[in-house]
Structure 1
Amino acid sequence: MIRKFLLLFTLLALSFSTLAEPETAQSKLDDLAQLNQEVMALYQTSKSRTGSTRDVLRMQVLNKNDDLRDQLGQLISAPPEGAEGKLIDYVRHQIRYTAATARYLDQKIKVDEKALDSAPQEEQLLKQKQLDEERQLSVQMLGDQWTNYHWLEQLGIKTAKDKTKLAKDISERLEFVSASLEYNHQQEKELSKQLKDASDSEKSALQLMHILTQRKVSSDIDRLNYLASLGDKAEIDTSDYKKQQFEVTGDLTNDILNIQVIYSIFSAWTDNLKKWLVDYTPQVLFKIFIFILVILVFRLLKNLTRRVVKRAVSSPNLRMSQLMQDFFISMSGKAVFFIGLLIALSQIGLNLAPVLTGFGVAGVIVGFALQDTLSNFASGMMLLIYRPFDVGDFVEAGGVSGKVSHMSLVNTTIRTFDNQIIIVPNSKIWGDTIKNVTHERVRRVDMVFSIGYSDSIEQAEAVLHDIIDSHPAVLRAPEKTIKVHTLNTSSVDFIVRPWVKTDDYWDVYWDVTRAVKLRFDQAGLTIPFPQQDVYLHMVKQENLNASPSVHNSLLQ
């Protein structure tokens, strides 16, 4: 019983669906006819209007016609039985309508182009936007026409000749849009260059022109992209146009994976490289030759400048320190070579203004990053100006003692007495006490010698005077000083202070010290050394037998 009920229900459902199908197809045809009447009514109304009203009505016609084409396409993909003739009529009507719309758009584009050229600057952006929309609609008409011919083929009508003619129109439009894109892209790049060097009064006009050109380039790219996809349907070779689109936009699309497009891109790059080599190789080689020649000339000038500056700063009248002389000699050579480098770079076509600006910006950044180095640099300048020491001086500075070997603007090289090289930052030297041992040409040698309390002071003084007076390196002026200085705990101390040349300081110090020991021994004078007398007190036996308190007091 249930099976019979289900079978009956299925037969009823199939009968209802069979009856409803013709009604649905007929309703779609009726809707299509209604839309067609509305499109025709709007189109006829637009013919009698002018100005902006006519444009608005034509835009409504386009929108209505798009709806009509959507329904028409659905019916053609699954045409109802017996409706092929009506559908063919609708498609032929679309072919005529599309051709008429294309002619109207072409005429309007020409009028609007003239209006754009004569319009004030403040209105050009709005008119350019309207013109771009019209151009986009114009190329879309080619796509609609191609769809119309495809529909006729689906309905059994041959359109090979019409498609061939339309493919030719598409190819011509591709060439035109490609040329327009190339021209506008070149204009956009040229305006970008002009904007960089333009004055404030020129920038406003150039910026407007630059924006207009950018919009033209964007519109050309959209049209070229649409036409290229349409050209693929028409079996037109569009690899060059896709390559051009990639070169202008730099966008990676699926078209780039096409072998023909890749081959076209690499062929263009190869051709451009060959052309560049042929056109510019002699010029580049000549510029390289000039660059090298300028560098060599200024290198010679650098050495010549260093020699001239060296003679100038070495003059006794200037009284410059060796550090100051080295600084001026080094900086003069570097300055000449730097100027030569800038001139050489300008000869190869490099714009020096951005380079110098970059140096300025880099200098600020480096200044923040290298604050300690700049502190050393400033300290080096102060050392050069105030000259607390010079190359060859023995100094105690920055916690280091030794001979100044070399100095730059950021650090000082000191060679210690045991021949170690120590590089000290200038900021540490300038911020601490500086002791220059060899700054003066004459130094006093301070020595102390001792005799015992049992020795003769007069005899010791005579020996010391004889030793100092007989040494050839001791100066007669300033006068030496030999005096009894201190009655010490174990000795009588004499100060001996002869004056010598700075270079003879240590020789005199060591010679006199040796001579004093030998002469004191010969004269019987003793050189006391630290000593201490220890006295032992013996404790009697009866005190040991005393009470513990007494014993403790004795121990204390």
Structure 2
Amino acid sequence: METQKWIDAGYNFIIEFGPKVIGAILIWIIGSWVIKMLLKGATKAMNKGNYDESLKKFLVNLINWILKILLIIVVLSTVGVETTSFAAIIAAAGLAIGLALQGSLANFAGGVLIMIFKPIKIGDLIEAQGEIGVVKEIEIFTTKLIGLSNKEIIIPNGSLSNGNIVNYTTQGTRRVDLVFGVSYDADIKQTKDVFSKVLAAHPLILKDPAPTIALSELADSSINFVVRPWCKTEDYWTVYFEVTESVKEALDAAGIEIPYPHQVEIHKEA
């Protein structure tokens, strides 16, 4: 009699829950296949968009986990498990994690924006957050630069994406801004000719756009000229230092004085 009772209970259990379990299994199989297809489509779309490799992996994993959590909730709901409280726990946990990691999430969002819109890329010379350097690596939370003195600079992506970025590489050329002061006794035309000859003789200075040479200021002890040649971005510092040296030598050879500030002292006798 006891055996029959167990058999009846098992039969009723199968009748009641059997279709739900079979339905849950089918939903899991079909849902897993759909998730696989969606991930494959997302990967193809990101490949076409030339997304960064680290960003692709992160986004694919994120989409995979979100879809699988939703699938698990649907499967549990199918077999009769109350999922309302389960969803509420997940939402509360997500809120708590978001509040605890809001700084990191801002950096993450900044990293995603940088990788999607690509205002900078590895190898670019940029100026941002008061730092100048060549982009070494763009990660999810930070961007690493190699500074001009070969120091490593790490900038949070949240600050980087929300601040001004000067990219010196994208245009391929860069203007070298130099200022030279000469004596008030110097002939302006002769001085300009000296500058022109120095720029014309330098092999790394571009002919187009043409350099600018102009008198910019009548200072206290000198008249100042701006000298602005153009060069390739990678030649900037070479041109800067070599032109500065060549101008000094050329002015000396032409007998044009480079003045220094004068100070007059007046001694008053008692």
Match of 1:396 in 2: 127
Match of 2:212 in 1: 481
Match of 2:243 in 1: 512
Identify if the C-alpha distance between structure 1 residues 330 and 474 changes in structure 2 by more than 3 Å, giving closer, same or farther: farther
Q: Is the 8 A contact 1:392 1:405 kept in 2?
A: yes
Task: Using the TM superposition, give the Cα deviation of residue 508 of structure 1 relative to its aligned residue in structure 2, in angstroms.
Answer: 0.8
Asked if 1:437 is matched to 2:168, the reply is: yes
**Quick one: which of 188, 193, 196 aligns to 1:462?**
193
Q: Is the 8 A contact 1:309 1:332 kept in 2?
A: no
TM (norm. structure 1) is: 0.36
Match of 2:79 in 1: none
Identify if the C-alpha distance between structure 1 residues 445 and 392 changes in structure 2 by more than 3 Å, giving closer, same or farther: same
Q: Which has the higher strand share?
A: 2
Q: Which residue identity is paired with 2:253?
A: Q
The CA deviation string for residues 243-288 of structure 1, in whole angstroms up to 9 with x for no partner, is xxxxxxxxxxxxxxxxxxxxxxxxxxxxxxxxxxxxxxxxxxxxxx
Q: Is the 8 A contact 1:309 1:328 kept in 2?
A: no
**How far apart in 2 are the matches of 1:368 and 1:487?**
58
**How far apart in 2 are the matches of 1:360 and 1:478?**
60
Asked if 1:525 is matched to 2:261, the reply is: no
**How far apart in 1 are the matches of 2:265 and 2:103?**
61
Task: Using the TM superposition, give the Cα deviation of residue 468 of structure 1 relative to its aligned residue in structure 2, in angstroms.
Answer: 0.3
**Quick one: which of 369, 372, 380 aligns to 2:103?**
372
**Quick one: which of 140, 145, 155 aligns to 1:414?**
145
Asked if 1:447 is matched to 2:178, the reply is: yes
Q: Is the 8 A contact 1:460 1:525 kept in 2?
A: yes
Identify if the C-alpha distance between structure 1 residues 398 and 360 changes in structure 2 by more than 3 Å, giving closer, same or farther: farther
Task: Using the TM superposition, give the Cα deviation of residue 327 of structure 1 relative to its aligned residue in structure 2, in angstroms.
Answer: 5.1
The CA deviation string for residues 185-240 of structure 1, in whole angstroms up to 9 with x for no partner, is x86xx69x949x58xxxxxxxxxxxxxxxxxxxxxxxxxxxxxxxxxxxxxxxxxx
The RMSD of aligned alpha carbons is 4.0
Q: Which residue identity is paired with 1:407?
A: I
Q: Is the 8 A contact 2:107 2:157 kept in 1?
A: yes
**How far apart in 2 are the matches of 1:364 and 1:482?**
60
Task: Using the TM superposition, give the Cα deviation of residue 476 of structure 1 relative to its aligned residue in structure 2, in angstroms.
Answer: 0.9
Q: Is the 8 A contact 1:380 1:410 kept in 2?
A: yes
**How far apart in 1 are the matches of 2:264 and 2:95?**
74
Across the two proteins, how many residue pairs are aligned to each other?
Answer: 231
Q: Is the 8 A contact 2:173 2:232 kept in 1?
A: yes
TM (norm. structure 2) is: 0.69
The CA deviation string for residues 103-122 of structure 1, in whole angstroms up to 9 with x for no partner, is xxxxxxxxxx9xxxxxxxxx
Q: Which residue identity is paired with 1:482?
A: I
Higher relative contact order (CA 8 A, sep 6+): 2
Task: Using the TM superposition, give the Cα deviation of residue 515 of structure 1 relative to its aligned residue in structure 2, in angstroms.
Answer: 0.6
**How far apart in 2 are the matches of 1:440 and 1:483?**
25
**How far apart in 1 are the matches of 2:75 and 2:127?**
47
Identify if the C-alpha distance between structure 1 residues 476 and 399 changes in structure 2 by more than 3 Å, giving closer, same or farther: closer
The CA deviation string for residues 343-374 of structure 1, in whole angstroms up to 9 with x for no partner, is xxxxxxx99956xx889656555334322222
Q: Which residue identity is paired with 2:210?
A: E
**How far apart in 2 are the matches of 1:426 and 1:351?**
34
Asked if 1:534 is matched to 2:265, the reply is: yes
Match of 1:405 in 2: 136
Q: Which has the higher helix share?
A: 1
Equivalence map 1:311-326=2 (5 Å): 313=48, 324-326=51-53
**How far apart in 2 are the matches of 1:429 and 1:329?**
21
**How far apart in 1 are the matches of 2:100 and 2:266?**
72
Task: Using the TM superposition, give the Cα deviation of residue 457 of structure 1 relative to its aligned residue in structure 2, in angstroms.
Answer: 2.4
**How far apart in 2 are the matches of 1:480 and 1:399?**
28
Q: Which runs of 5+ in 2 are unaligned?
A: 22-35, 77-85
Equivalence map 1:35-434=2 (5 Å): 183=6, 194=17, 313=48, 324-326=51-53, 329-331=56-58, 353=75, 363=94, 365-434=96-165
- Of structures 1 and 2, the larger Rg is shown by 1
Q: Which residue identity is paired with 1:521?
A: D
Match of 2:227 in 1: 496
**How far apart in 1 are the matches of 2:108 and 2:248?**
51
Q: Which runs of 5+ in 1 are unaligned?
A: 1-112, 114-175, 199-297, 343-349, 540-554
Q: Give the secondary structure class of the aligned counterpart of 1:450.
A: strand
